[in-house]
A = this chain, B = another copy of it.
Amino acid sequence: MPIASPDRMAASGGEDALTALTELVRADLEACNRLIVERMQSPVALIPQLAAHIVAAGGKRLRPLLTLAAARLCGYRGMRHVALAACVEFIHTATLLHDDVVDESALRRGQASANALFGNKPSVLVGDFLFARAFQLMVEDGNLEVLGILSAAAATIAEGEVLQLVTQNDTTTTEAQYLQVVEGKTAALFAAATRIGAVVADRPAAEAEALDAYGRNLGIAFQLVDDALDYAAEQERLGKTVGDDFREGKITLPVLLAFDRGDEAERGFWRRVLEERSQAETDLAAAQALLERHGALRDTVERARRYGDEALAALAAFPEGKERQALADIVAFCIDRAR
């Protein structure tokens, strides 16, 4: 059986790819969703109330989908991967809750954030609860390697989030630092989510490494595209919020590219709006014009595409089939959001 080339694997993409992946593991995903609802219960009623707001808010469940599909790709036939996928979603949700608190985000997934509705304190504590629940589920599963992978990922996520804080409002941030932030806050959980698919299937280390590389590169591509979308005029036309990163002074790749390619007057602009956070109403449009002039969004997406190619290359280690095709198409899905 010939191994499809990365290009062939990525032939189809877009929203269809997410639908196809969801269909492929539908029974597993439904079991995972039931477990999520069951295990976020608590005699303290505010916990499931608040958790439901974010867990059941119609997220695409991308990370647990990756765990479910990765396990099936590895030929796993049992159902242990369902609980591990739930762990991944709980950790992701805890991160969102803590990120909402600290970023004072008003909106998440188009709904009022848990933080805005319930206050900072409950959001922090319910995040802690979900994080603890994730570890309880892993302990019930009983695989120390999975526990090691996800506890290391959790530490790396926190490191990435702290580094993001440190680099915020600092235009001397380097691309290497930016990448370290992205690898921590986003790619570490993608990598862990796919790697545990190989572990639960008891596959050799080489396959775990390949799935780790797939998830890590996909996660980086996903975040790069996210960072481009935050400035995309097309998003504005679709009625989506843009400029969150801009208002917070987050230093993302589009900004780093435009800053690097700009003249001294332009750098003065970036310093004023991002470092001093002195922003007038027209400044977002001015920033978008600078990003356009220097091709910063285009090149950010191009960079994402290269990470996507790395993700596709990692899949070549696995036999052709529906699972591999679905995971390959998800790469295109993550990148094509930027079109």
**Separation in Å of the A245 CB from the closest CB of chain B?**
15
User: Is there a chain B Cβ closer than 8 Å to A122's Cβ?
Assistant: yes
The interface-forming segment of A10-18, A161-169, A207-215 is A161-169
Bound CA span A122–B155, Å: 14
User: Is there a chain B Cβ closer than 8 Å to A142's Cβ?
Assistant: yes
Bound CA span A129–B142, Å: 23
**In the complex, chain B residues whose CB is within 8 Å of the CB of A101:** 101, 120-121, 124
Bound CA span A45–B163, Å: 9
Q: Mark A164-202, 1 if CB is under 8 A from B, else 0.
A: 011000000000000000000000000000000000000
User: Is there a chain B Cβ closer than 8 Å to A313's Cβ?
Assistant: no
The interface-forming segment of A78-86, A143-151, A288-296 is A143-151
Q: Which of A83-130 contact B (CB under 8 A)?
A: 94, 98, 101-103, 120-122, 124-126, 128-129
Bound CA span A161–B125, Å: 7
Task: Report whether B158 and A122 are in contact in the complex, using a CB–CB cutoff of 8 Å.
Answer: no
Task: Report whether B125 and A102 are in contact in the complex, using a CB–CB cutoff of 8 Å.
Answer: yes
Task: Report whether A139 and B147 are in contact in the complex, using a CB–CB cutoff of 8 Å.
Answer: yes
Task: Report whether B154 and A132 are in contact in the complex, using a CB–CB cutoff of 8 Å.
Answer: yes
**In the complex, chain B residues whose CB is within 8 Å of the CB of A144:** 139, 142, 144
**In the complex, chain B residues whose CB is within 8 Å of the CB of A131:** 128, 131, 154
Complex: chain B residue closest to A118, CB-CB: B165
Q: Assign chain A's interface to a size class.
A: 35 or more
User: Is there a chain B Cβ closer than 8 Å to A42's Cβ?
Assistant: yes
From DSSP, what is the main secondary structure of chain A's interface residues? helix
Q: Residue A122 contacts which of B47, B120, B122, B165 (CB distance < 8 angstroms)? A: B165
Q: Residue A162 contacts which of B98, B125, B139, B154 (CB distance < 8 angstroms)? A: B125
Complex: chain B residue closest to A98, CB-CB: B124
Q: Residue A135 contacts which of B44, B47, B129, B151 (CB distance < 8 angstroms)? A: B151
**Separation in Å of the A156 CB from the closest CB of chain B?**
8
User: Is there a chain B Cβ closer than 8 Å to A133's Cβ?
Assistant: yes
**In the complex, chain B residues whose CB is within 8 Å of the CB of A62:** none
Bound CA span A163–B136, Å: 20
Bound CA span A161–B103, Å: 22
Task: Report whether B129 and A102 are in contact in the complex, using a CB–CB cutoff of 8 Å.
Answer: no
User: Is there a chain B Cβ closer than 8 Å to A233's Cβ?
Assistant: no
Complex: chain B residue closest to A128, CB-CB: B158
Pick the most buried of A46, A120, A158: most chain B CB atoms within 10 A of its CB. Answer: A158
* CB-based closest 5 A-B pairs: A102-B121, A132-B154, A129-B158, A132-B155, A135-B151
Q: List 10 A-B contacts (CB under 8 A).
A: A98-B128, A101-B101, A103-B121, A122-B165, A129-B159, A131-B131, A132-B151, A133-B155, A136-B152, A139-B144
A residues bordering B, Cβ < 8 Å? 42-47, 94, 98, 101-103, 120-122, 124-126, 128-129, 131-133, 135-136, 138-139, 142, 144, 147-148, 151-152, 154-155, 157-159, 161-163, 165-166
